[in-house]
Structure formats: structure tokens, C-alpha cells
Amino acid sequence: MYLINWAAKCQSKNLYEQYHSGVRYFDIRVRFDKKGKPVIAHGLVEYKGVAENYICILNEIAKHYKNTIYVRFVLEFNRQPKDYHRQEVLLSEFVQNLMKEYPYVIYDYIMCKWNEKVLVGYNLHIIYIFHRYSSTLGWKRFLWIPYWYAKLHNKDIMSTWEIELEDKINRVLMLDFV
């Protein structure tokens, strides 16, 4: 999948750089292989990173800076898999184990990408998520490099999101390519 990575990779900064750029809400997408092991994925592309390692890093950042970091896990697929219910159970169990091991991270939702179904909501605070993904969709993905498309549109999005959520306390702006 290396050849289409340019269309699936949504971040160009590592977790530390994202944190120091102001990111406090992280969206991690996984699916589970036949052995039940979580695999970081976005669309068709699977990555070699280990999801638990990302949570370990975020946990250390939250602990060191004494700051709140939220994580949302999304079960990532293009189409609903045949083992849909197994995937849901594996994700729920995976997050429950992470919660025990890495307590400085606040786990928000775990959900399914293909139907936006919330499997479990762990966070007791209300967070208002402003979904403004800047990715190219449909035929546009073949004309634009998604990174540059998102970068150009993020500026417009960032100028309007605070107005739309100005009366909300816990606001999250979801952007590609932070």
C-alpha cells in the first residue's frame, strides 16, 4: 500500500509535535487482524505502528505536562466486514485494557467508521466535536494531492469553527494534516 500512502496519511507531525502544536484530541483508527491484534489503518492502508505504543506516548505526555489528552478510537474499514461484531468486541476489550495500563489519557469514544455508530462512550465530560475533514472525496482525489487540498481548506475551516461553537466549553476541531 506504499504507493497510495499519499492519499491515506493524515498527519505529517509525530505525537510530540502535534501536542506542542496544540492538539489535545487524538483520533486513532484501527482494525483487527485474524489473530485479534490491532492494526493501525486508514482506508485501505495499514501501517506498521503499534496502537498501544501511541497511547503509551500520549500517556507520558499527559503525565509530564499535567494536561488533559483525549483519545478517540475508530474501527476503520471501507465496508462493513463479515466479522463486524467480533471487531467491535475486540476494540472494546482493547480500549478497556489500555484504560487500565495508561490512566493519564482520557478515552472518549470508540466507534465504527462506516456507520458512525458509537460503541462505548467513556468520557464523562461533554465534548463538542466539529467535524470538518478537508480530505478530497470522489473524483477530486485523483486531481489533487490530499495533503495540499487539506492544507488550503484548513485555513477557511479554522476561521469559522470557533464562531459555530463559541458557546461550547469543550470544543474539538477535527482536521486532517495538522
Q: Give residue 36's pLDDT.
A: 94
Average pLDDT over residues 12-18: 89
In a domain, 177, yes or no: no
The verdict on residue 55 lying in a domain is yes
The answer to whether the CB of 45 falls within 8 A of the CB of 8 is yes
**Is 154 among the domain residues?**
no
Residue, of 100 and 11, whose pLDDT is higher: 100
Give the amino acid at 171. R
Euclidean distance between CA atoms 36 and 81, whole angstroms:
14
Residue 147 belongs to some domain of the structure: no
What is residue 53's predicted lDDT score, i.e. its pLDDT? 96
Q: Is residue 130 part of a domain?
A: no
Nearest to 12 by CA among 136, 132, 143, 148: 148
The domain total for the chain is 1
Global pTM value: 0.78
What single-letter DSSP state applies at residue 170?
A: S
Decide if 62 contacts 105 (C-beta within 8 A).
Answer: yes
pLDDT in tens, 62-103: 999 999 999 989 888 877 888 888 998 999 999 999 999 999
Q: What is the pLDDT confidence band of residue 165, given thresholds at 50, 70 and 90?
A: low
User: Which residue from 153, 68, 127 is spatially nearest to 103, judged by alpha carbons?
Assistant: 68
Look up cell 492538539; give the residue. Answer: 23
What is the signed CA dihedral for 18, 49, 1, 108, rounded to 10 degrees? -60
CATH classification of the domain holding 20: 3.20.20.190
**pLDDT-based confidence at residue 30 (cuts at 50, 70, 90):** very high
Please report which helix (H) or strand (E) contains residue 92, including its range. helix 84-101
Summarised one tens digit per residue, pLDDT across range 107-123 is 987 777 666 667 777 87
Q: Is residue 21 within 8 Å of 178, Cβ to Cβ?
A: yes
**Phi, psi angle pair for 129, to nearest 5°:** -95, 125
**Domain-located, residue 136:** no
Q: Return the percentage of the chain with pLDDT > 90, whole number.
A: 34
Q: According to the model, what pLDDT value does residue 65 have?
A: 97
pLDDT at 21: 87
CA distance 120 to 93: 11
* All cell numbers assigned to 55: 497511547
Q: Is residue 86 part of a domain?
A: yes
Residue 84, pLDDT score: 86
Domain carrying residue 71: 2-125
Domain assignment of residue 118, yes or no = yes
Answer yes or no: are the C-beta atoms of 12 and 21 closer than 8 Å.
Answer: no
pLDDT digits 0-9 by tens, 32-61 = 999 999 999 877 778 888 999 999 999 999
Q: Which cell numbers in the block locate residue 54?
A: 501511541
